[in-house]
Structure 1
Amino acid sequence: MNRRNLLKASLALTTLGLPAFPVFAQNTKTDPRGEPFDFDRLKQRAKELAGRPYHDNAEPLPPTLANLEPLKYQKIQYDPKYAIWRDAPDTNMSLRFFHVGMQFNLPVRMHVIDPDTQQAHEIHFDPKRFDYDDSGVDKAQLKGHDFGYAGFKLMRDHDANASHEAGAFLGASYFRFLDKNNQYGISARGLAIDTATEQTEEFPDFVAFWFEQPHDDQQALVYALLDSPAVTGAYRFKIDLVEDGTVMDVDMELHTRHQIGRLGIAPMTSMFLKGTSQAQARDTIHPQVHDSDRLEIWRGNGEWVCRPLFNPKTLQYNAFPDENPRGFGLVQHDHDFDNYRDDVAWYNRRPSLWVEPTSDWGKGQIALFELPTVGETVDNIGAFWIPEEPVQGDQQLNFSYKLHWLPLPPVQPTLAQVEKTWSGMGNVPEGWIPGDRSPSEYARRFAVDFVGDPLDDLPEGTQVEVQVEVSRGKLGMVQARRFEPIKGYRAIFDWVPETHSDEAVSIRLYLRAGDRPLTETWLYQWVPPKSDERYY
């Protein structure tokens, strides 16, 4: 099975524990017994849970569910007439739940909050709400079980014939939402623990959700309880369905059970197979294949940084120190269909995800990891915030932030932005085809295209210069020139090795006029080939 077949079925499973989003709906049967609920009670529950040993709540499923193949799992259809809030007078929004099955064997408990009494009532599993036709599920094996649910999706419209999804939570603490282009792409997570370390990565689970009934068609309030061997957490998601996409206010309170080596706040995961700087990274008919093409950072000091993504041969991990960052995100900057020519995956429609801190995050670093991938099925890119202070056991941590699921971030630099990054053979004249050359003549050429103000209105005669630094090696040719076809400027430089080392090279570049910066800062990391592979 390949990603294109899965995409056609609206199902995108990954090998990193990332969620699938089948096109099916779910079930509801409420428990008449209720209990008082508010966010403070949820915080107290998370604190008390952290004081007890961790218990893995995953349950063995009957074979008919445990052995489901992805496309069979997708065949399980939820009857929309049982959607939560379907008959609510003040909203067209509704909820549907995902069925357990395959690797989704954690019973996630769902609760609705009575708008009059503020009592929370559990919604129990009931197979009568599902259509199992063509799934191969033996319904006799479901009798007598309260499986809970695997996750939920939020619908903009509860019409039985509509499929107006806003987003979904499914698998561990993963969730993803749509923008105006209605194409799933990048995923968010509730928390990341020991990602890209020598330790085994931990995947915390949202084990229970509570839902407040909306009073309009734009906003929903969802609460979640998170649990893992290392930490528990209480979360509140205020989900606003705006014209261009989705904006989520996230408030979280964490309680740790033990020391954590690397805690990732506001984590997101995406896929990058190939782009303009890696046209031959993988052999495919599509010129570009990615859910995101860059990491953008608006630092606390006001500097804007663009780090194009890369599909490396081995794990690459980078950390960008900062204090109270103003925002960061994995961005799909290029939305031009002609640059993808893909009418199955529609990468030109993928949303960007921007994190806007709304509390004091203090000192720390924005981490970026890039894993090698040979296909489109794995989210090989991740980014998150790491607090500077070590995380100890029996500790309370609080963070608040907004998540913007939009075509582009809600804020843009006041300087010119990176449009595209290109890379090819260096130390040769443009348009010249070299003959055999020795490794000693090897160089790598990079071109960075910038567009936007203030490059648009530079006075005639302005001397534009390239400010470029490399962590090792030396610079050959360096130039900046007006690039009229894109109404911008192109910076070009050659990197020349000074040793046989194939260690990664870090590069920093921007355009300036005298002491005045004209562009955001372009950062890049490139791993040169081994010395015996340095040929054209």
Structure 2
Amino acid sequence: MKRRTLLKSAVALAAWYGLPSAPLFAAARGNERIADGEARPFSFEGLRERARQLATAPYQDGARRLPETLAALTPHQYNEIGYDPAHALWRGQSDRLNVQFIHAGMAFDQPVRMYSVDPDSGQAREIHFRPELFDYARADVDVSQLGSDLGFAGFRVFKAPSLDEKDIISFLGASYFRAVDGSYQYGLSARGATVNTFADGEREEFPDFTHFWFETPAPGASRFTAFALLDSPKLAGAYRFVIDCADDGVVMDIDSHLFPREAITQLGIAPMTTMFSCGGHQRRQCRTLHPRVHDSDRLALWRGNGEWVCRPLNNPPRIQFNTFGDQDPKGFGMLQTHRDFDDYEDVIGRYHDRPSLWVEPKGKWGAGEIQLLELPTTGETMDNVVAFWKPQQAIQGGEALSFGYRLHWGARAPVHTDLARVRATLSGMGGFPEGWAPGEHYPEVWAERIAVDFVGGELKAFYDGDIDVDTQLDTSAGQVKDLHVLWVKDLEGFRILFDWYPDSDATDPVNMRLTLSARGKVISETWLFQYFPPPKEERRFPPFPGSQA
């Protein structure tokens, strides 16, 4: 898989609902046969050495031409290929978890090899593709074309009580993977690594997870360990995933060991990919019946110096790339903070149920940058936002790099600041007093009104104590006028309201930074915002109702 748009179309496929469970004794017999390869020793140390050796040899592209019956499938047809739950990995061995494998097809032409590991003996056996593992009853597939060495495209993890119905983890396509919380609603994706996502003169690579090893979990356990081998033209790597499938979300404890084949301009660590189409400050772009359409609404940063940052996401008019320098970051993530059905009015996408993803670095990562790429999109069918950590050091071939981190998938981040937090960012027509209609005519000078809501922290105590709350607002261009600090009883927080006036015809993005302070200390997280002024010819108000304009 080489194209982000194809990846999005594939991961957006609806989860397949399996057949009724087979009797336990039949399922156990099926599980005994699923790992049919020769027993071989396996260890994470051996996998790291394999990745290191792999990086010393020229890259070998493992993608292959799929049989026509698979290559020509539409997403709907591909989704109709089901896995027979009687052959799920760990069936009859675990009453809490099982793994079901995903068929090759469409653009998923990289064979992924799967292995079952006995943790007591350290022996691994390959699980070979064979048609009897799958259910083709609803799929138009000519099984005679498939052969016996097709491999798999990925896998899904199921957890009791929905062992055959609703998956909670999916690894599918390149090094993409996703997880859910108790809502069972997928949203944004993570990746093993990124290579040259936005690097001048460099072609982006999509490293592949080419092999997985699964340790059989202990009886009754909701935690398991998986290992993966990653490969691409510039990079090889070994990964260990210790995955805890809790009721309120999934936590993945990840140890990654990366071995560049050659110099890499832009290496992305703990990358995540999400979608922001419209909503809030860009609600005018919501041209469907939905007031919001997004998997995530902000990038949150907990910087190494303790500062908390809220960066609202954009659907920009053109490609935007931003960097946020840091030293030993404490955490970062893509958050979905608007969690009411009324925010979206979407009965299909159910965006209010989509999880947030928080990265918790293990140990010190040193100097580097959180890098954010935002692409314009016209809808919800493409992940248009990517964020990751880029180490400051130059990445050279022959090096060995290690990064440990935890991924928290859940409705909210596992940590939050005690300071006041940004609730929402809104924008609209400005240039007249708030609470008044513009009158018979609109203002003569065009302006954009921006509102930022802060809630939580000590704000109510400051308001009740009649303590002045001050703002520090900086913009990279234009002028700020009519700034107001308004207490909103319904929110038990402050709304910071101001009008922004352009001082030129430029359409370059305007960077804005806002914090609240009281008694000489900062009392809020930092709001970082990127506003896109419209072209000069669009800086006008709509015709006043009843006018001749």
TM-score for both structures, normalised by structure 2: 0.92
Partner of residue 531, structure 2? 526
Report if aligned partners of 1:465, 1:479 keep a CA contact under 8 Å in 2: no
Partner of residue 26, structure 2? none
**Against the structure 1 CA distance between its residues 434 and 320, is the aligned structure 2 distance closer, same or farther, given a 3 Å change threshold?**
farther
Report if aligned partners of 1:437, 1:535 keep a CA contact under 8 Å in 2: no
Partner of residue 54, structure 2? 49
Report if aligned partners of 1:16, 1:379 keep a CA contact under 8 Å in 2: no
Partner of residue 21, structure 2? none
Q: Which runs of 5+ in 2 are unaligned?
A: 19-30, 542-549
Partner of residue 179, structure 2? 177
The answer as to 2:16 corresponding to 1:24 is yes
**Against the structure 1 CA distance between its residues 460 and 112, is the aligned structure 2 distance closer, same or farther, given a 3 Å change threshold?**
same
Report SS of the residue matched to 2:517: strand
> Which of residues 331, 340, 360 in structure 2 aligns to 1:356?
360
Report SS of the residue matched to 1:448: strand
Report SS of the residue matched to 1:317: strand
Within 2, Cα distance between the matches of 1:369 and 1:427? 32
The answer as to 2:306 corresponding to 1:302 is yes
Report SS of the residue matched to 2:138: coil
Partner of residue 24, structure 2? none
Q: What is the root-mean-square deviation in Å for CA atoms of aligned residues?
A: 1.8
Partner of residue 4, structure 1? none
Within 1, Cα distance between the matches of 2:472 and 2:484? 10
Deviation at 1:32, TM superposition (A): 3.9
The answer as to 2:471 corresponding to 1:471 is no
Within 2, Cα distance between the matches of 1:456 and 1:217? 44
Deviation at 1:158, TM superposition (A): 8.1
Deviation at 1:182, TM superposition (A): 1.2
Partner of residue 401, structure 1? 405
Partner of residue 101, structure 2? 97
Partner of residue 10, structure 1? none
> Which of residues 430, 439, 455 in structure 1 aligns to 2:459?
455
Partner of residue 319, structure 2? 315
How do 1:132-151 and structure 2 match up within 5 A? 132-142=136-146, 144-151=147-154
Report if aligned partners of 2:185, 2:355 keep a CA contact under 8 Å in 1: yes
Report if aligned partners of 1:80, 1:158 keep a CA contact under 8 Å in 2: no
Show CA shifts across 1:93-121 (max 9, x none): 11100000000011100000123321111
Report if aligned partners of 1:25, 1:97 keep a CA contact under 8 Å in 2: no
> Which of residues 494, 500, 503 in structure 1 aligns to 2:505?
500
Query: Counterpart of 1:17 in structure 2: which amino acid?
Result: L
**Against the structure 1 CA distance between its residues 139 and 16, is the aligned structure 2 distance closer, same or farther, given a 3 Å change threshold?**
closer
Report SS of the residue matched to 1:135: coil
Report SS of the residue matched to 1:413: coil
Deviation at 1:442, TM superposition (A): 2.2
Deviation at 1:159, TM superposition (A): 6.8
Partner of residue 446, structure 2? 442
Show CA shifts across 1:235-278 (max 9, x none): 00000012310011010000001111111100001111111111
Q: Which runs of 5+ in 1 are unaligned?
A: 1-12
Within 1, Cα distance between the matches of 2:280 and 2:439? 22
The answer as to 2:413 corresponding to 1:421 is no
Deviation at 1:517, TM superposition (A): 1.5
Report SS of the residue matched to 1:94: strand
Within 2, Cα distance between the matches of 1:110 and 1:401? 24
The answer as to 2:29 corresponding to 1:37 is no
Per mean C-alpha deviation after superposition, the further-off stretch among 112-121 and 230-239 is: 112-121
Report if aligned partners of 1:94, 1:158 keep a CA contact under 8 Å in 2: no
Within 1, Cα distance between the matches of 2:15 and 2:469? 52
Query: Counterpart of 1:351 in structure 2: which amino acid?
Result: P
Report if aligned partners of 2:6, 2:107 keep a CA contact under 8 Å in 1: no
Report if aligned partners of 1:282, 1:374 keep a CA contact under 8 Å in 2: no
Show CA shifts across 1:351-388 (max 9, x none): 00000000220000111111111111101111110101
Show CA shifts across 1:472-522 (max 9, x none): 222112121111121111001122211111111000001111312221110
Per mean C-alpha deviation after superposition, the further-off stretch among 458-467 and 386-395 is: 458-467
Report SS of the residue matched to 1:414: coil
Within 2, Cα distance between the matches of 1:403 and 1:232? 21
Report if aligned partners of 2:63, 2:110 keep a CA contact under 8 Å in 1: yes
The answer as to 2:345 corresponding to 1:345 is no
Report SS of the residue matched to 1:208: strand
Within 2, Cα distance between the matches of 1:159 and 1:411? 29
How do 1:65-464 and structure 2 match up within 5 A? 65-88=70-93, 90-142=94-146, 144-157=147-160, 162-198=164-200, 199-215=202-218, 216-430=220-434, 431-433=436-438, 441-458=445-462, 459-464=464-469
Report SS of the residue matched to 1:47: helix
Query: Counterpart of 1:514 in structure 2: which amino acid?
Result: R
Per mean C-alpha deviation after superposition, the further-off stretch among 330-339 and 429-438 is: 429-438
Deviation at 1:30, TM superposition (A): 1.9
Within 2, Cα distance between the matches of 1:435 and 1:218? 65
Within 2, Cα distance between the matches of 1:14 and 1:300? 31
Report if aligned partners of 2:15, 2:166 keep a CA contact under 8 Å in 1: no
Query: Counterpart of 2:175 in structure 1: which amino acid?
Result: S
Per mean C-alpha deviation after superposition, the further-off stretch among 426-435 and 341-350 is: 426-435
Query: Counterpart of 1:456 in structure 2: which amino acid?
Result: K
Query: Counterpart of 1:125 in structure 2: which amino acid?
Result: F
Within 2, Cα distance between the matches of 1:53 and 1:197? 23
Within 2, Cα distance between the matches of 1:255 and 1:435? 67
Report SS of the residue matched to 1:42: helix
Report if aligned partners of 1:321, 1:364 keep a CA contact under 8 Å in 2: yes
Query: Counterpart of 1:49 in structure 2: which amino acid?
Result: L
Within 2, Cα distance between the matches of 1:456 and 1:241? 37
Show CA shifts across 1:427-481 (max 9, x none): 222232366668x822211100111121122242211122100112221121211
Within 1, Cα distance between the matches of 2:380 and 2:160? 31
Report SS of the residue matched to 2:342: helix
Report if aligned partners of 2:298, 2:335 keep a CA contact under 8 Å in 1: yes
Q: Percent identity?
A: 47
Deviation at 1:200, TM superposition (A): 2.0
Query: Counterpart of 1:108 in structure 2: which amino acid?
Result: V
Within 2, Cα distance between the matches of 1:453 and 1:424? 27
Query: Counterpart of 1:264 in structure 2: which amino acid?
Result: G
Report if aligned partners of 2:17, 2:166 keep a CA contact under 8 Å in 1: no
Report if aligned partners of 1:331, 1:408 keep a CA contact under 8 Å in 2: yes
Within 1, Cα distance between the matches of 2:46 and 2:481? 63
Report if aligned partners of 1:125, 1:149 keep a CA contact under 8 Å in 2: yes
Within 2, Cα distance between the matches of 1:362 and 1:14? 30
Within 1, Cα distance between the matches of 2:474 and 2:521? 17
Query: Counterpart of 1:196 in structure 2: which amino acid?
Result: F
Report SS of the residue matched to 2:7: coil
